[in-house]
Each structure stands twice: as structure tokens, then as C-alpha cells.
Chain A
Amino acid sequence: MTGLVYYSSGSGNTRRFVERLGLPATRIAADTRVTEPFVLITPSYSDGEGHGAVAKPVIRFLNDPANRALIRGVIGTGNLNFGEHFALAGKIIATKCQVPLLYTFELAGTEEDVARVRQGLETFWTRQRSIGP
């Protein structure tokens, strides 16, 4: 199994999801630098028109070419109440970094979301290893 990187603001939904996932994970801070391939989990914070959905710390993290080179997939979170902008940050990152959007869930996720992601990541990394770095 390889890395998990996530962003979570003061409301802590993504942090609580990752804690329940029980896998080693790095929370994005000002100077986060990764050295292994990773999947990114990120919420959305758009302005209502869909702008600015990717949180600034996530943009700064991905602006670093060394970090960016190691992203393999993204999991987007949000709230369906935001309609067509649901989990928009995940979609934007998938497009910009040319990696698959692996999964989406709401807020801190349900038990089912935790189980699906835990199992999905395991299969995903196994498949990744079999097709090389």
C-alpha cells in the first residue's frame, strides 16, 4: 500500500474520514513534500459559480512539480446540496493532473464509504504495482 495525502479545514470532515480509514496519511500543511506515489483526498470550497473550488493549500501543494509527479488518483468530497458543483475540486484536480477521480463522498463519509475506499485503495495500489511505476 502506498501513500494517502489529504486536505481538511477547521470543520474537520475529511480528517475524521481519514482517521476512520485507519491508513497512514499526510495532512497537507504549508510545506508538505511527498516522496512516494499517493492518492489525494480533498473537499471542495467553491464560491457559488464554481470558482476557487480547490483549497489554496492544495493548489500550493500541487504547484510543487515533485509532489505533482507522484499523484496517482484523487478522491473528491463535498455536499450534494451544492448541486452541480458537488465534489468539484476532485474533478478539477483529476483533469489538471490527468489522473482518475476514484471516488466521491459527502462530508465525513458513511461507514460504507470508509469500507469502499479502504478496499478500493488496496486493489488500486495492487493494480498500479503490476503495471509498473
Chain B
Amino acid sequence: MNAQSPVRRTPTRAVNWNRVQDDTDLTVWNRLTSNFWLPEKVPLSNDIPSWATLTDHEQQLTIRVFTGLTMLDTVQASVGAMAMMPDAVTPHEEAVLTNIAFMESVHARSYSSIFSTLCATKDIDEAFRWSEENPHLQKKARLVLEHYRSADPLRRKVASVFLESFMFYSGFYLPMHWSSRAKLTNTADLIRLIIRDEAVHGYYIGYKFQRALERVTEAERAEIKDFAFAMMFDLYEVEEAYTEELYDGVGLSEDVKKFLHYNANKALMNLGYEALFPSSVTDVNPAILAALSPNSDENHDFFSGSGSSYVIGKAVATEDEDWDF
């Protein structure tokens, strides 16, 4: 399109939320805006006594993990969400993407709130230096950034879903681990807010990816699927090395890897694809799942007859006025 063309000028359009072409834009906008939060909402200073119980090495690990997460949120805020803007098919999608970009900045900012509450300045500076020099972390960033510069909008969406739904999880593991040991529980509350946001981001970009796939040829669909699985293999390789470097010292690497496999499968599902890792390697530590989803008795199975059946009759708030009974 030529911006200078004097003849085929299309009018500048105002976004009209009373004419929504894609209901998912509205559903997701509503969910994201009602999810809105700021780090000040979480009483992080209550974690100061708990922070003091971590060893020097555990503290350093935690600061490094959070610095790595900060970097990914920075990339997503300033490059990732914007890289999808030119391909938005509705004006409402553009609005949702601006919301996503802004929340990524809130996420990145919130790690600094954790740091300023719990850590010494010199340790924070050391970790930021580490993040710039660590080859695995830098490679993670390079891999996604490379695809964000791709000319193909489908590839940009794949990269973005992988960042949202997979690449954060080597980092998210640690606060869930501490929380399962009743440590840094307020920090874990904040991280859960981030994890919930990322679920909606991964869902939405994956949904738009599936719609975009419907508009390309069968051959292109096959090609992009090959690309997605190849990219997942590349990312997994880096994640594995990054995980080992961080977690070998505390003996958690194998546990973290299960969490990576589990989340890689979920990222692929967001794109509409089948899982890659078999259940033999996705058996995430139940304590981590419980930390991810407190009070939700996550493994509900009435079929197994093993007693965990949901108690019928327990009052559930259903204020939804659409019910007729």
C-alpha cells in the first residue's frame, strides 16, 4: 500500500465497540481489563522475613530467574505485541494488543518492585549484568526476536504464543516451588496474576493464529506447522540448557523440565496443534500444580472412583441472571 497515493485514500477509522466483527475481541478485552492490576496491590513486604530464610545461593537464583522473566516481558512489551499490530484484522484486535503490550510493561515493572522490596542494590545490579552476559538467556531473546522480524505474520504469531505460553515457565517454576514450601507467598500471589494474564495472551494470539490459518492454502498450513514444531525444538533446546544452568545447583532441573514439557504442550494446543511431549515426561510435581491453582482440586476424576468426586450441593455463586432455573 502506498501512503502517498492521492486517489485510493481510505478514511481513517474510529474503533466502534458497538459494531464488533469478532466476539472474541470483546470477550478478551473484557477479561483483560477486569484482570487489570498493579504490583502495589500485593503486600510484597510481608515476604521480607521469608526472604531472609533463603540461602545466599537461593537468593541469587531467585533474583536471576526474575531478571530473566523481566527481560522476556520487556521484549513482549516493546517488540512482541507491536509486531502483531500490522496484521490485526479488526480495529478491536488492535485495542486488545495495546492492552497486552501495556500489561507486559506492568509485569516487567513488577519484578523491580519485588527486587526493591527484598534485595540489596548491588545484588540487583549483578543480576541485570548477568542477564546481559548469559548466553542461554540471550539466545532465547535472539530466537524470538528473529521471528518477530519475519515477513510472515503467521510466524510472528507462533513466536509470540511460544513466548507467552512456554518460554516464561522455566522462570515461573521457582516462585511456585517456593510457594509450595510456604516461602515468598506474597510474591507467588503476584506471579499468579502474571500467569493468569499470560494464559489469556497465549489464548488470544493462538486464536487469531487459527483464524489466519483458515485464509491460507493447505500447503502453507503444512509449512507453518513444520515451522512451529521446529521452532519448539529449537526453543526447548535453549530452555533445557538455561534450566540446567540455573537449577542444577539446587537439584531441581528434572522437576523443572517436566513443567517445561507440560507447558510446551499447552502452547501447541493454543495454536490448535496436538501435544508433542508424551505423558511419561509431563507428570509435573503435584505440589507445583497445587501452587499454580490453589483451592482447585486440580485432578478431578470421578471415573477413577478414587474418592475425589465433587461435592454436589455446595453452594456456588451463580449470580448470572441468564439462568432460568
Q: Interface residues, chain A, CB within 8 Å of chain B?
A: 9-13, 16, 45, 47-52, 54, 56, 59-60, 62-63, 65, 68, 73, 76, 79-87, 91-92, 94-96, 98-104, 106-108, 110-112, 116-117, 119-121, 123-124
Q: Give chain B residues whose Cβ lies under 8 Å from the Cβ of A112.
A: 279
Complex-state Cα separation, A104 to B304, whole angstroms: 12
Interface string of B282-311 (1 = CB under 8 A from A): 100000010011111011111110000110
Complex-state Cα separation, A101 to B278, whole angstroms: 26
* Contact assessment for B303 and A83 in the assembled complex, using a CB-CB cutoff below 8 Å: no
Residues of B contacting A: mostly: loop
* Contact assessment for A59 and B323 in the assembled complex, using a CB-CB cutoff below 8 Å: yes
Known: A10-B24, A10-B207, A81-B196. A101 touches B266 (CB 8 A): no
Known: A49-B34, A100-B309. A80 touches B289 (CB 8 A): yes
Q: Give chain A residues whose Cβ lies under 8 Å from the Cβ of B210.
A: 10-12
Interface string of B26-37 (1 = CB under 8 A from A): 010011001100
* Contact assessment for A107 and B295 in the assembled complex, using a CB-CB cutoff below 8 Å: no
Known: A10-B207, A96-B318. A83 touches B293 (CB 8 A): yes
Known: A9-B24, A101-B309. A47 touches B31 (CB 8 A): yes
Q: Give chain A residues whose Cβ lies under 8 Å from the Cβ of B314.
A: 95
Q: Give chain A residues whose Cβ lies under 8 Å from the Cβ of B243.
A: none
Closest B residue to A124 by beta carbon equals B303
* Contact assessment for B198 and A45 in the assembled complex, using a CB-CB cutoff below 8 Å: no
* Contact assessment for B196 and A83 in the assembled complex, using a CB-CB cutoff below 8 Å: yes
* Contact assessment for A50 and B266 in the assembled complex, using a CB-CB cutoff below 8 Å: no
Complex-state Cα separation, A73 to B300, whole angstroms: 13
Known: A49-B34, A92-B318. A79 touches B199 (CB 8 A): yes
Complex-state Cα separation, A102 to B310, whole angstroms: 8
* Contact assessment for B317 and A95 in the assembled complex, using a CB-CB cutoff below 8 Å: no
Interface residues of B in 178-224 (CB under 8 A from A): 192, 195-196, 198-199, 203, 206-207, 210-211
Complex-state Cα separation, A82 to B323, whole angstroms: 23
30 A/B residue pairs, CB under 8 Å, sorted by A: A10-B207, A10-B210, A11-B203, A45-B27, A45-B31, A47-B31, A49-B34, A59-B323, A62-B323, A63-B325, A73-B302, A76-B300, A79-B199, A82-B199, A83-B192, A83-B196, A83-B293, A94-B312, A96-B325, A98-B312, A103-B301, A103-B303, A107-B270, A110-B275, A110-B279, A111-B278, A116-B304, A120-B302, A120-B303, A124-B303
Sort A-B residue pairs by CB-CB distance and give the 9 closest, nearest first.
A120-B303, A81-B199, A101-B310, A63-B324, A104-B300, A107-B269, A86-B296, A80-B293, A48-B34
Tell me which of B31, B211, B316, B319 contacts A91 (CB under 8 A). Answer: B316
Interface residues of B in 9-25 (CB under 8 A from A): 24
Complex-state Cα separation, A49 to B31, whole angstroms: 10
Q: Give chain B residues whose Cβ lies under 8 Å from the Cβ of A85.
A: 296
CB distance from A111 to the nearest CB of B (A): 7
Complex-state Cα separation, A98 to B310, whole angstroms: 11
Tell me which of A11, A82, A95 contacts B316 (CB under 8 A). Answer: A95
* Contact assessment for A123 and B266 in the assembled complex, using a CB-CB cutoff below 8 Å: no
* Contact assessment for B296 and A11 in the assembled complex, using a CB-CB cutoff below 8 Å: no
* Contact assessment for B298 and A100 in the assembled complex, using a CB-CB cutoff below 8 Å: no
Asked if B320 is at the interface of the complex by the 8 Å CB criterion, the answer is: yes
Complex-state Cα separation, A59 to B31, whole angstroms: 19
Complex-state Cα separation, A86 to B266, whole angstroms: 15
Q: Give chain A residues whose Cβ lies under 8 Å from the Cβ of B304.
A: 116, 120
